[in-house]
Amino acid sequence: MHHYWLKVIATSNIRNKILFYKQKILLSNEVDFMAIQLFVPTFDVDGCLAEIKECLEKGWTGLGFKTLQFEEEWKRYTGLPNAHFLNSATSGLNIAFDILKERYGWNDDTEVITTPLTFVSSNHAILLAGLKAVFADVDNTLCLDPNDVEKRITPNTKAILYVGLGGNTGHYDEIVSLCEKYDLKLILDAAHMAGTRLNGEIPGKEAEVVIYSFQAVKNLPTADSGMICFKSRELDDIVRKKTWLGINKDTFARINTKGNYKWKYDVEYVGQKYHGNSIMAAIGLVQLKHLDKENSYRRQIAEWYTKGFASYNDKIKLIEIPQNCESSRHLFQIIVDDRDGLIEALNQEEIFPGVHYTDNTEYRMYGYANGTCPNASYISDHVISLPMHMRLSFDDVQTIINTILKFISK
């Protein structure tokens, strides 16, 4: 699938192909967008409806059925050994720290090294588990800087939470080496990384646990859902129980046991209700089929932006992506002097970019670390995420580029 589409891209007139794709979407939705938004998810509407119809006809919209199918497909796609479907990545992050804390006997003094440049759900998970969030700075990839991470390691450090920002792997390999050297557990927040490859492979096999988001505007959109992939089979067994209130078997398995409804289940943990449902999984199953070709179009858009800004590298800084990383390109970010001015100028042209993210140490619960990560703090004030989605045409991208060039040349 992946390789097939790349070949199509390489051998056909890319612009016509894209325009055709865009027209098809516009026709099928009968919506024209004057404004250019940051993110607009594109769904295979007929495919999703057919898959959802199956759930409705069968009378099975909850846990089991499609959630199990999607888990199997996700394992096949990623090559990760385990996968459990959730109602969000936030749930996944929360339950990951809860389970690791219990498994490894971590306590309230246990420190987790993390990035200030992420969606707050990553760092909230550390606090919610009663652990300490220790912030390290980011490098030119906007991911954790391995050198700075190493400086923050203490005898209390037990884990690193790594975020592949925008789909970039950053210096993930070096973080993996640090984890080996200091015997730390690696938690990978892969919310932006659906489809990212490192040295041609989906990264994450090295991590204790990988968490994906299939929230409404992520690369594999559902409406809200996520996936948690533990390296260990034992922890995968535990997460299946803990995401359903501690109950030890899913409904699908119970009903299938000789048609004998085993209502007398055991409850092993004080768990959460974090598991996903079959409607979300149905959408996920269909959208997964489109993920690689959509990501290759995202990379095409990124190339157009990169070319457009090529002669302006004194005023527009791009984010470094290592050679061996094929980014999912969830984001295309640039760094400029007058970020807020640029956002206003773009808004005037009905172009609506975003910011990923505000340095988390600016928020009250992480304020204790404010000032400890100067790069992240600078990025937080100067970074801007440009529109990135399937409905952008070559011309849309040129309009965005020209508006930006006009602003910075003033």
Q: Which residues bind ligand PLP (CB under 6 A)?
A: 88-90, 118-119, 121-122, 163, 189, 191-192, 213, 215, 226
* Residue among 132, 99, 373 nearest 211 (CA): 99
Judged by beta carbon, residue 163 or residue 384, the one nearer ligand PLP is 163
The DSSP symbol for 220 reads S
CB of 385: closest distance to ligand PLP in angstroms?
A: 11
Judged by beta carbon, residue 226 or residue 284, the one nearer ligand PLP is 226
CB of 321: closest distance to ligand PLP in angstroms?
A: 17
- Which residues, in sequence order, are bridge partners of residue 201? 198
* Rounded (10°) CA dihedral 121, 242, 245, 280: 60
Side chain identity at 200, as an amino acid letter?
Answer: G
CB of 388: closest distance to ligand PLP in angstroms?
A: 13
Which pair of tokens denotes residue 382? 């100067």
CB of 216: closest distance to ligand PLP in angstroms?
A: 8
Judged by beta carbon, residue 191 or residue 316, the one nearer ligand PLP is 191
CB of 28: closest distance to ligand PLP in angstroms?
A: 26
CB of 99: closest distance to ligand PLP in angstroms?
A: 17
Regarding beta strands 209-213 and 226-230, do their DSSP bridges make them parallel or antiparallel, or are they unpaired?
A: antiparallel
- Which segments of 251-408 are extended strands (E)? 317-318, 325-326, 332-335, 351-352, 383-386
CB of 320: closest distance to ligand PLP in angstroms?
A: 19
Judged by beta carbon, residue 36 or residue 194, the one nearer ligand PLP is 194
R_g of the chain computed on alpha carbons: 22
Judged by beta carbon, residue 36 or residue 191, the one nearer ligand PLP is 191
- Which residues, in sequence order, are bridge partners of residue 212? 227
Judged by beta carbon, residue 22 or residue 66, the one nearer ligand PLP is 66
Within 8 A by CB and 6+ apart from 146, the residues are: 139, 171, 174, 175, 177, 178
Kindly report the backbone phi and psi dihedral angles of residue 352, in degrees, each rounded to the nearest multiple of 5, phi listed first: -120, 95
CB of 330: closest distance to ligand PLP in angstroms?
A: 8
* Residue among 179, 210, 171 nearest 192 (CA): 210
Judged by beta carbon, residue 204 or residue 226, the one nearer ligand PLP is 226
- 183: Cα separation from own chain's centroid: 26
Judged by beta carbon, residue 146 or residue 226, the one nearer ligand PLP is 226
Q: What is d(CA 238, CA 208) in angstroms, rounded to the nearest whole number?
A: 14
Regarding beta strands 36-37 and 351-352, do their DSSP bridges make them parallel or antiparallel, or are they unpaired?
A: parallel
